[in-house]
Amino acid sequence: MCSDLSSSQVKQVKNAVKAAKRKLHTGRRGNPGNAAKYITRNKALNRLQIKLPEFRRLCILKGIHPREPKKKFEGQNKTYYHVKDINFLLHEPLLEKSREIRAYEKKITKARAKYNADLAHRLQNNRPSFTLDHLVKERYPSFIDAVRDLEDPLTMIHLFATLPADTTHSVPFERVHSCRRLSLEWQAYVTRTHSLRKIFVSVKGIYYQVEVSGQKITYLTPHVLNQILPEDVDFRVMLTFAEFYETLLGFVNFKLYHSLGLNYPPVLDPRLEQAAAELYALMKDLAGGTTSAPLLEDASAKEDDAPVSVDEQQSLMEAENKEKRIAESQARLASLQDRLKQIEKEKEKPQDDLETRTCRRLFQNLTFFLGREVPRESLLFVIRSFGGAVSWDGDGAPFPENDEVITHQIVDRPTQGHKFLSRHYVQPQWVYDCANNRILLPTEPYLLGRIPPPHLSPFVDNEAEGHVPEYADTIKRLRLAVNQQLAPLPGSESGIDEGELLVAAAARRREDLEAEKERELAAMEKSYAEDLRRELAGKSFSGEEEALADVPESEVLPPPKEDDPKDMAKMMLSRNKRNLYQAMEMSNTKKKEGVKLIKERKRKADEKERKKTRTM
């Protein structure tokens, strides 16, 4: 039959068939339908010729997510992807590299099956490798895009930095060590630039907010405890995310360090690294800036084995000492020149903003000593970020516990055996609260053995929530007093005492509450007296009310309801806007109920405290 048709007719038939297929997939001509835009996961696996775990890994690395079409043309229980995303994966170099690695692993398995240990060992050492650098450049074209997306990477990297290496869950030691190194490098940079802004200690972990390149980044770090790996978590997916985040954070740290003129990666002090003080070792390396010049080799090498006289030996020793002195002086001169260049570079740098200067000067003249029971790494990170000097109880400490320069000792135990009178013994919460409020709070509520004030979250806007805690109001008064720079009393050398300031603020708050209660009681007494006077005068009913008193209640019409402008405006809204407005009203009502519940709990707690004091 085809032989009876000419070539032009055959071409027309083929074009008609193609048009029919295109119309079947697109619906209307020119408007592609769901069948042309989306593809199911099983069809995507068949097109890519890979298995499901490898497909999931590629989607995580490339940042491809499932899509929800308006009409699921192959059923509701299917997972759909964009066709263009699958075509994007089809040309990914990692896909070909994974096939090459699988073929190479078959060679290793075959060599082991033939008991060829030398060949298997050689193949194992020459295993092909790959990098994810091109994916980072592809997903983040500019540096600021990578900084904006650092919240999840930092949380994941800090999580893996505290996990134990476990072969059961396929958590390799190299991954844990790399995450630990990257997290310490990030903390060292934040400490050097004083970029830490907010801290909140919760049950989940410790929330930090830093400001880097004008972007605020909030991430969560776990508490340093013995981690137990759960069985219902797929660590393969988490390891894939961690693999990509390692490459991303390495790029970001490299850029940040070079923006400060520092070498990357920084060099750790082996002695401090063995003493588990890696963060302090990194800070010490960044603070040093440049390393001293290496010792020069001995210029007087032995040229021959001929014996020399005593005078010649003395002259040689003098020449060696002279050369050593010259070399030492040259090394000192070179280090001095490097230091002068650093000072000039620091002068040329733009001035820090007000927030950074405030954070750098908060603990500037204070020296802290950390006890063994407190979270050392977190407190070291916070104190150094806000300009303080810190030491600890253990190996590699900068100064011992009995040093007289220590002003505050951070402890978290009921009692302390030996106390120094020249320092304050406070709980760790004092450091976090001072850092969040940018002032040195009074140490009396945070002393050893006392129940500290509530740890308020700096991420919550109390005014917007409709409830301002009492301690937040006290801190606000303290901040106002510090910003106004009140003059010290005559005859006092230390100015305003922080404890007296806190007591005065609490007293003013108590007086305001008592005055408000007195006003409410006076208004109630006035209303009661007015009602009593009208009742004695016989004016409990007006004329209209007396006329209506004889009419039965069933015949009395209710008063006409006035039109509420709020209801009228609500009627003029569209359905979507009306639903949105109702959701906002429900949210505000729920917020008010929460505030009432908090106030009721506070009232019951105060009553319980008063009863307890009365019984005592």
Using an 8 Å Cβ cutoff, are 300 and 319 in contact? yes
Low-confidence winner among 257-271, 289-303, 326-340, 400-414 (lowest mean pLDDT)? 289-303
Tell me how far the alpha carbon of residue 589 is from its chain's centroid: 31
CA distance 191 to 387: 9
Please determine, for residue 608, whether its predicted confidence score (pLDDT) is greater than 60.
Answer: yes
**Helix, strand or coil for residue 425?**
strand
User: Token digits for 398?
Assistant: 């900068």
Please determine, for residue 274, whether its predicted confidence score (pLDDT) is greater than 70.
Answer: no
Please determine, for residue 599, whether its predicted confidence score (pLDDT) is greater than 70.
Answer: yes
Please determine, for residue 155, whether its predicted confidence score (pLDDT) is greater than 90.
Answer: yes
pTM equals 0.69
- pLDDT value at position 221? 94
Using an 8 Å Cβ cutoff, are 435 and 209 in contact? no
CA distance 507 to 110: 83
Share of the chain above pLDDT 70, in %: 74
**Helix, strand or coil for residue 509?**
helix
CA distance 440 to 455: 15
pLDDT tens for 365-382 read 899 999 989 999 999 999
Strands 206-212 and 196-201: antiparallel
User: Token digits for 50?
Assistant: 């890979």
User: Token digits for 74?
Assistant: 């192959």
CA distance 207 to 219: 6
Query: Mean pLDDT across the stretch 218-242?
Result: 89
CA distance 378 to 196: 12
pLDDT band at residue 462 under the 50/70/90 scheme: confident
Tell me how far the alpha carbon of residue 420 is from its chain's centroid: 36
- pLDDT value at position 494? 42
Query: Mean pLDDT across the stretch 494-508?
Result: 55
Backbone angles phi, psi at 418, to 5 degrees: -105, 130
Burial class (CB in 10 A: 0-12, 13-18, 19+), 103: exposed
> Which residue type does 190 have?
V
**282 closest CA partner among 147, 377, 207:** 377
The verdict on whether omega for the bond into residue 265 sits within 30 degrees of 0, i.e. cis, is yes
In whole numbers, what is the pLDDT of the chain averaged over residues?
79
CA distance 574 to 570: 9
- pLDDT value at position 207? 96
Q: Which residue matches tokens 């099956």?
A: 113
**447 closest CA partner among 434, 431, 433, 430:** 430
Helix (H) or strand (E) holding 40: strand 38-40
pLDDT band at residue 305 under the 50/70/90 scheme: very low
User: Token digits for 217?
Assistant: 């980044």
Please determine, for residue 364, whether its predicted confidence score (pLDDT) is greater than 70.
Answer: yes
* 151-to-146, 223, 288, 604 alpha-carbon distances in Å: 10, 18, 29, 40
* Residues in CB range of 363: below 8 A, 6 or more apart: 383, 386, 387, 388, 434
pLDDT tens for 546-584 read 444 454 555 555 665 556 677 777 777 888 888 888 888
* Residues in CB range of 411: below 8 A, 6 or more apart: 371, 373, 374, 425, 426, 427, 448
Q: Which residue has the higher pLDDT, 157 or 233?
A: 157
**Helix, strand or coil for residue 350?**
coil
Q: Which residue has the higher pLDDT, 304 or 251?
A: 251
Query: Mean pLDDT across the stretch 93-104?
Result: 89
pLDDT band at residue 307 under the 50/70/90 scheme: very low
**387 closest CA partner among 420, 357, 345:** 357
**3-class secondary structure per residue, 146-181:** HHHCCHHHHHHHHHHHHCCCECCCCECHHHHHHHHH
**Helix, strand or coil for residue 370?**
strand
Q: Is 32 left (phi over 0), alpha (psi -120 to 50) or beta?
A: beta
Which residue blocks in 349-469 are alpha helix, DSSP H?
354-361, 376-385, 428-437, 462-465
Query: Mean pLDDT across the stretch 281-308?
Result: 43
CA distance 173 to 166: 8
Give counts: helices (H), strands (E), the chain. Answer: 24, 9
- pLDDT value at position 285? 61
Instruction: Determine the straight-line distance between the first and last CA of the chain, rounded to whole angstroms.
Output: 111
Q: Which residue matches tokens 């996990």?
A: 163
- pLDDT value at position 351? 57
Please determine, for residue 335, whether its predicted confidence score (pLDDT) is greater than 70.
Answer: no
- pLDDT value at position 345? 55
DSSP state of 561: P
pLDDT tens for 4-34 read 557 777 777 777 777 666 655 544 555 556 6
CA distance 117 to 111: 7
- pLDDT value at position 14? 74
CA distance 40 to 85: 12
- pLDDT value at position 578? 81
CA distance 66 to 73: 15
**Helix, strand or coil for residue 216?**
strand
Using an 8 Å Cβ cutoff, are 286 and 268 in contact? no
Low-confidence winner among 56-60, 76-80, 270-274, 346-350 (lowest mean pLDDT)? 346-350
- Per-residue b/e over 10-24, b at no fewer than 16 CB within 10 Å? eeeeeeeeeeeeeee
**402 closest CA partner among 381, 421, 426, 375:** 421
Measured in residues, the chain has a length of 616
Please determine, for residue 217, whether its predicted confidence score (pLDDT) is greater than 50.
Answer: yes
pLDDT band at residue 474 under the 50/70/90 scheme: confident
Low-confidence winner among 141-150, 217-226, 346-355, 524-533 (lowest mean pLDDT)? 346-355
- pLDDT value at position 160? 92
CA distance 539 to 549: 14
Q: Which residue has the higher pLDDT, 223 or 355?
A: 223
Q: Which residue has the higher pLDDT, 490 or 281?
A: 281
pLDDT band at residue 41 under the 50/70/90 scheme: very high
pLDDT tens for 160-215 read 999 888 878 888 889 999 999 999 999 999 999 999 999 999 999 999 999 998 89
- pLDDT value at position 42? 92
- pLDDT value at position 395? 77
User: Token digits for 136?
Assistant: 């980072």
- Per-residue b/e over 83-98, b at no fewer than 16 CB within 10 Å? bebbeebeebebbeeb
Share of the chain above pLDDT 90, in %: 31
Q: Which residue matches tokens 């605020």?
A: 216
Q: Which residue matches tokens 């009396």?
A: 444
> Which residue type does 201 have?
V
**218 closest CA partner among 193, 235, 199:** 199
Query: Mean pLDDT across the stretch 298-315?
Result: 46
